[in-house]
Amino acid sequence: MNQPANVLAATSCRDTPILKERGQREVFCGLTGIIWLHRKMQDAFFLVVGSRTCAHLLQSAAGVMIFAEPRFGTAILEETDLAGLADANEELDREVGRLLSRRPDIKQLFLVGSCPSEVIKLDLARAAQRLTKLHAPHVRVLNYSGSGIETTFTQGEDACLASMVPVLPGTEDRELLLVGALPDVVEDQAVSLLGKMGIGPIRVLPAPRSAQAPGVGPNTVFACLQPFLGDTAAALERRGARMIEAPFPFGEEGTTLWLRAIANEFGVDDATFEAVTAAPRARARTAIANASEHLRGKTVFFMPDSQLEIPLARFLTRECGMEAIEIGQPFIHKGLVGPDLDLIPAGPTISEGQDVDRQLDRVRAARPDLTVCGLGLANPLEAEGLTTKWAIELVFTPVHFYDQAGDLAGLFSRPLRRRALLKLEAAE
């Protein structure tokens, strides 16, 4: 009953030719991930080595300023740093020294590369090694790139997690590793559901504190919680771990298939699976049915943004009765989103990359009922009479697993309900 035997569409989006575009991209760079990563890793500090633009981006993307001692900052390169790299390294060591002496609670420091640091070829990998030696054993210094020339938006989390994999302790134990930085409330739900099926031990990357870092080895199996963790998955495989492929746990169906794939790996029988999931599945179905009332029969257009587009399109089309016109993603990694693509019947345009003006021409021609896009585009499209959902909320809000499935549908239906609700003209 619970096996995903008949769910594959006759012809699915897996085989749809991908429209590849390049041009202006209306997408954040990978630095943005720091906003949620620093909340998740409570003893980590993220030091961007970049420009005033990087600092301004973080401040603007955060939307609100997190004044309660943010554990991130930008070492802003100045004219003199550009003149000689030797000096830039010295300056960096000095700033890091100052930072760590002021914040003794910091155990992991990420040096985050930016566009300018990469263009001037400031070697942050070497700097991280040098600084690790300097501040060992108290602080481990790692580095990754969050630059716009290398990463888009959520890819920053991938780069960050991938940088942690080589330094994870080794283990021979058979363990399940969940990969991805989710809000605690959903992470706990996942661990609880799997635990009730008798699966364990369960570890999570990233751990809230560096001392709790999971081990990895040939008997580790892992499941990604987010569809943008390709480099992290590859790094884990290099350490001998094996990935469990599944659609991503959005909605009732996605969550069930994701849990089922893990349950199969651990030999959980149907009865146990059913006993654990029946109640939350029923709740999820009810919640989705209520929240998706305004979504049924409506069309949706995804501009590329968070990399969640394909799994979310699967949820909206299969569980909320929407019709997808175009599903755009910054890049498409079929090794990760293949199972989701399999479930979406052929029909929508699948696009990768972006030429924003041309894509907006397609939006205007199609006039979708709902356009999922970034913050820079939402109000302009609303002003043209289109209804939008800002993609960034999908990254900041708990939306995974059964008990958030209704909330997830609600995020999409609220703009439509609001449009239907407002009566701003004369009554006549």
CA angle 124, 96, 167 (to 5 degrees): 55
Nearest approach, Cβ of residue 356 and another protein (Å) = 8
Closer residue to another protein in complex, CB, 116/227: 116
Closer residue to another protein in complex, CB, 170/376: 376
Closer residue to another protein in complex, CB, 78/172: 78
Nearest approach, Cβ of residue 279 and another protein (Å) = 37
Closer residue to another protein in complex, CB, 7/120: 120
Instruction: List contacts with another protein (CB under 8 A).
Output: 22-32, 47, 49, 51-53, 55-57, 59-61, 65, 67, 70, 72-79, 81-82, 88, 91-92, 94-95, 98-99, 115-116, 118-120, 147-150, 152, 357, 374-380, 382-383
Nearest approach, Cβ of residue 92 and another protein (Å) = 6
Nearest approach, Cβ of residue 231 and another protein (Å) = 14
Nearest approach, Cβ of residue 25 and another protein (Å) = 5
Nearest approach, Cβ of residue 60 and another protein (Å) = 6
Q: Torsion-angle region of residue 23: left (phi > 0), alpha (psi -120 to 50) or beta?
A: left
Closer residue to another protein in complex, CB, 69/428: 69
Nearest approach, Cβ of residue 170 and another protein (Å) = 32
| Euclidean distance between CA atoms 124 and 150, whole angstroms | 15
Place of tokens 């030429």: 355
Closer residue to another protein in complex, CB, 240/331: 331
Closer residue to another protein in complex, CB, 244/375: 375
Nearest approach, Cβ of residue 171 and another protein (Å) = 35
Three-state secondary structure string covering the chain: CCCCCCCCCCCEHHHCCEEEEECCCCCCEHHHHHHHHHHHCCCEEEEEEECHHHHHHHHHHHCCCCCCCCCEEEEECCHHHHHCHHHHHHHHHHHHHHHHHHCCCCCEEEEEECHHHHHCCCCHHHHHHHHHHHHCCCCEEEEEECCCCCCECCHHHHHHHHHHHHHCCECCCCEEEEECCCCHHHHHHHHHHHHHCCCCCEEEECCCCHHHCCCECCCEEEEECCCCCHHHHHHHHHCCCEECCCCCCCHHHHHHHHHHHHHHHCCCCHHHHHHHHHHHHHHHHHHHHHHCCCCCCCEEEECCCCCCHHHHHHHHHHHCCCEEEEEEECCCCHHHHHHHHHHCECCCEEEEEECHHHHHHHHHHHCCCEEEECHHHHHHHHHCCCCEEECHHHHHCCCCCHHHHHHHHHHHHHHHHHHHHCCCCCCC
Closer residue to another protein in complex, CB, 46/258: 46
Nearest approach, Cβ of residue 293 and another protein (Å) = 29
Closer residue to another protein in complex, CB, 27/336: 27
